[in-house]
Amino acid sequence: MRIVIQRVSFAEVVVDEVVVGRIDAGFLALVGAEEGDASADAAYCAEKTAGLRVFTDADGKMNLGLKDVNGKVLAVSQFTLLGDTRRGRRPSFVRAARPEAAKLLFDEYVQRVKQFDVPVETGTFQAHMQVSLNNDGPVTILLDSRRLA
The catalytic residues are 78-80
Beta strands at 72-77 and 26-32: parallel, antiparallel or unpaired: parallel
